[in-house]
Amino acid sequence: MKKIVLTGAAGRLGSYLREPLTKLCDTLVSTDIAEDIGTPYPGETYMQADLASLDDMLRVLEGAEMVVHFGAFVDEGPFEELLGPNFIGAYNVWEAAHRHGLRRVVYASSIHAVGMYPKTECIGTDVPHRPDTFYGLAKCFAEDLGRMYWEKRGLESVHLRILSCAQVNNARALGSWLSYDDLIQLVTRSIDTPVTGFSVVYGVSNNDRAPVDNSKAAFLGYRPKDNAEVFAEQVLAATDPLDPQDPGHMCHGGPFAAVELGNSGLATMNVIDDRKTT
Ligand SMILES: NC(=O)c1ccc[n+]([C@@H]2O[C@H](COP(=O)([O-])OP(=O)(O)OC[C@H]3O[C@@H](n4cnc5c(N)ncnc54)[C@H](O)[C@@H]3O)[C@@H](O)[C@H]2O)c1
């Protein structure tokens, strides 16, 4: 492939994807609203751009075959704060991809698109949307946008409903963890699978306690290698009894299922910022 674009390249997940993506194309164009992302890898160039600007997305996506769309406001917040980067940003990426004739969008969706399902229900990739927040609603919007651009305009998309791609430091993560290595495999399969149409797959490692079912996305060949069970003894020993009536423990969305709409879900989550630097 000649050119792949990565949005959200300055972010934590983007920082782990940049180098492997350079191996899949002649030129990786990394983009973010941030001023810079450190030293580029061989084969990588950086373009600063705002997802909320269609002109910016048209400029960045020109000549590309695929876009790996990871840029977003990554938390629950007031609708107005999410509107530009997450809702309009998704439209701009798909619309620019369509106008430039790209083949595929690989999109960082989220478990929060279906976060209100109880965790006692193992959900498949085809359950109806059940967002837990405005943030999750934006992921639903982008998934529906992706389906519509596939059905009406033939633009493929793979929607990675990532559960939690961060260090395992709480009981929920024993089921929801996606390791960085498995994230890289998932994105790679989403790119190198010859035909994907519109697809949804959960971004989760091979955890004994994974609460979701990827069997309908088996054709992608994603076979995660890591298992959060190696952290179970230590994490459970440090966990106080949990309130089973708390949606933050009961639902797939975790703390996002419990917060008031518009209030931060990350505030209580102690996500460790271990992004890779160059
Ligand atoms: N980290 C997780 O566990 C997780 C779980 C589910 C989904 N996701 C999704 O994965 C993606 C990456 O998440 P992350 O954890 O790396 O988050 P992050 O906040 O570290 O990265 C997001 C990046 O998007 C950029 N961005 C924000 N607004 C922008 C705009 N208007 N224009 C251009 N760029 C903009 C930010 O500058 C940031 O670098 C997001 O789409 C997120 O919703 C992450």
Please give the pLDDT value at position 22.
98
pLDDT number for residue 207: 98
pLDDT of residue 68: 99
| pLDDT for the residue 185 | 98
Quick one: pLDDT at residue 100?
98
- Per-residue pLDDT, 264: 97
User: What's residue 246's pLDDT?
Assistant: 95
Please tell me the predicted confidence (pLDDT) of residue 55: 98
Give the pLDDT score at 105: 99
pLDDT of residue 124: 98
Q: 3-state SS of the chain?
A: CCEEEEECCCCHHHHHHHHHHHCCCCEEEEEECCCCCCCCCCCEEEEECCCCCHHHHHHHHCCCCEEEECCCCCCCCCHHHHHHHHHHHHHHHHHHHHHCCCCEEEEEEEHHHHCCCECCCCECCCCCCCCCCHHHHHHHHHHHHHHHHHHHHCCEEEEEEECECCCCCCCCHHHHECCHHHHHHHHHHHHHCCCCCEEEEEECCCCCCCCECCHHHHHHCCCCCCCHHHHHHHHHHCCCCCCCCCHHHHECCCHHHHCCCCCCCHHHCCCCCCCCCC
Triad 108, 130, 15: Cα angle to 5° = 15
Where along the chain do its domains lie?
3-268
Q: Which residues approach ligand 1 with their CB closer than 6 A?
A: 8, 10-14, 32-34, 50-52, 70-74, 84-85, 89, 108, 110, 162, 164-166
From the CA of 71, give the closest atom in ligand 1.
24
User: Catalytic residue at 135?
Assistant: yes
Of all protein residues, whose CA lies closest to atom 12 belonging to ligand 1?
Answer: 70
CATH number for the domain running over 3-268: 3.40.50.720
Give the per-residue pLDDT at 86. Answer: 98
The tokens of 157 are what? Answer: 């998309």
Q: What Cα–Cα distance (Å) separates residue 223 from each residue in 69, 205, 212, 216, 230?
A: 22, 8, 14, 13, 18
Selected catalytic residue, list 135, 180, 202, 222: 135
- The C-alpha angle with vertex 106 and arms to 231 and 154, in degrees rounded to 5, equals 150
What residue ranges of the chain have pLDDT lower than 50?
none
Q: Mind listing the pLDDT tens digit for each residue in 160-180? A: 999 999 999 999 999 999 999
> pTM for the complete prediction?
0.98
User: Which pLDDT value is given to residue 255?
Assistant: 97
